[in-house]
Amino acid sequence: MAEQQRHRVVIVGGGFGGLFAARLLRRAPVQVTLIDRENYHLFQPLLYQLATGILSEGEVAPPIRHILRRQHNVDVEFATVTGFDLQNRTVTATRLDDSERRHPFDSLIVAAGAGQSYVGHDEFARYAPGMKTVDDALELRARIFGAFEMAESEYDDAARRAWLTFVVVGGGPTGVEIAGQIAELSRGGLKRNFRKVDPGAARVILCDGGKEILAGFGDRLSQKASNGLAKLGVEIRTGCTVTDVHALGVAVKAHDGSTEHIAARTKIWAAGVEASPLARLLADAGGASTDRAGRVEVLPDCSLPGHPDVFVVGDMMSLDRLPGVAEVAMQSGMHAANTIKRRIAGKQSVAFKYRDLGSMATISRFRAVVSFKGVKLSGFAGWLVWLFVHIAFLTGFKNRFAAMLHWTNTFLFSGRAERAITVRQAVGRVVIDEAGGQESLRIAPPQARP
Ligand SMILES: Cc1cc2nc3c(=O)[nH]c(=O)nc-3n(C[C@H](O)[C@H](O)[C@H](O)COP(=O)(O)OP(=O)(O)OC[C@H]3O[C@@H](n4cnc5c(N)ncnc54)[C@H](O)[C@@H]3O)c2cc1C
């Protein structure tokens, strides 16, 4: 089929939803343009390992164009999508130098994911990075390792304790995993590296507003996870609401109403998500509604009401109260791609049916909890399942191989291969905040250069 006659599919986002949709269109008679504001596909479930020095950014975020290098019907565009015109069927994207491109489409799949939600307190973000992007994880890595460095050269006892206190907000899988890893790092990975402070004396406090951590895993696994973290020395505070976050610490309110100030230099926000701002933009363009998390409400086949050729998948999609997990994103992305193929073949679309493949979280090395169709695993058995699933899903042979080498180093010898930090990483968020929140550095056009 000649190029210009091909059905044009634009995919926004090269995360789990967008990438799996693109791959499924490999042999379809379509021309795909995949637009992402980053040049990599991020394996978000391993971000906590990037933040704690186990894996490098290259291992959790391989380049999208490398993953798709053999798929000749895909063009990858490095740009930020800023608008949708559903009447004229175009997507507007802004490049790094502020120039705009319009991408015409016959079918559109929007998979721009979700960001961190600070539940009405965006001002907390400056002092408590979330963990959603490579930038977040690198910044956290710089703050975590930087805190131990600062403690080593601190004269004042109280100030040193504040540097050695880490507060993690949110007891879901992300919060549990990062808290466990900071504890493990301080008790093992940094041993004998410092002269004046004992990194093992670090306090790791995990705060959650609910009555138990990992609430979605059920009482038994939640209790196992609590016990595992307690053994590592993590202080778990349930029924605990964080009411203020600032440079030197956090204010918390317990379920009995009592309040406390915790002096802590490093705070990590792992509570709450909200859909990408593109969800609102798309909903407005298409006359659709969004739910409380800002996700676009779609029809059973993942299409936008009144726009059968526009699909919303993954964390941006609101359908049957499906959770924001990688499996939903992959399966819904593939479903949208399949629907496009069916329509081209003159067939009707069918409803999306989600196959629940369970959930898991690591507690420490050799310990994880897994919940799958009523089967609950914990300890070493759970960890083996975790290892198998993550090796299977890590994209690309090189990444798998490198990750396995680093895991051997960490799990067997408590080593952390990725400990180099830069001051720019540690202060990036504050500098951007002070510059008025402008996130991307614009490359000046030639005429503006001296
Ligand atoms: C720390 C962490 C741990 C997690 N752990 C697990 C886990 O253990 N198991 C599990 O199942 N799920 C886990 N998840 C959830 C899972 O990663 C998400 O559900 C999944 O990534 C959603 O896929 P998606 O394609 O919808 O969005 P994403 O994977 O977030 O991809 C969205 C893509 O869109 C791009 N994008 C966004 N806005 C624009 C724009 N304006 N223009 C161009 N591109 C844009 C982004 O750069 C990104 O590449 C975790 C998430 C996080 C943050």
pLDDT at 438: 60
DSSP 310: E
What is the strand order of the sheet 307-312 is part of? 74-78, 30-36, 7-12, 107-110, 307-312, 303-304
DSSP per-residue letters across 193-255: S-SSS-GGG-EEEEEESSSSSSGGG-HHHHHHHHHHHHHHTEEEEES-EEEEEETTEEEEE-T
pLDDT at 398: 77
pLDDT tens for residues 61-109? 999 999 999 999 999 999 999 999 999 999 999 999 999 999 999 999 9
Domains located in the chain, CATH noted:
3-37+79-116+274-344 (3.50.50.60), 122-271+365-423 (3.50.50.100)
pLDDT tens for residues 332-361? 999 999 999 999 999 999 999 999 988 999
- Ligand 1 pocket check for 16: Cβ under 6 Å: yes
- Ligand 1 pocket check for 312: Cβ under 6 Å: no
CA 334 to centroid of ligand 1, rounded, Å: 15
- Ligand 1 pocket check for 80: Cβ under 6 Å: yes
pLDDT at 439: 58
Per-position b or e across 388-403, b if 16+ CB within 10 A of its CB: ebbeeebbeeebbebb
Which atom of ligand 1 is closest in space to residue 328's alpha carbon? 19
Which atom of ligand 1 is closest in space to residue 361's alpha carbon? 8
CA 116 to centroid of ligand 1, rounded, Å: 11
Residues of the chain with pLDDT under 70: 1-4, 437-450
Q: Residue 318 is inside which H or E element, if any?
A: strand 317-318
pLDDT at 203: 98
Tokens at 363, concatenated: 């507690």
- By the 8 A CB rule, do 360 and 386 touch? yes
Task: Please name the residue whose Cα sits nearest to atom 4 of ligand 1.
Answer: 45
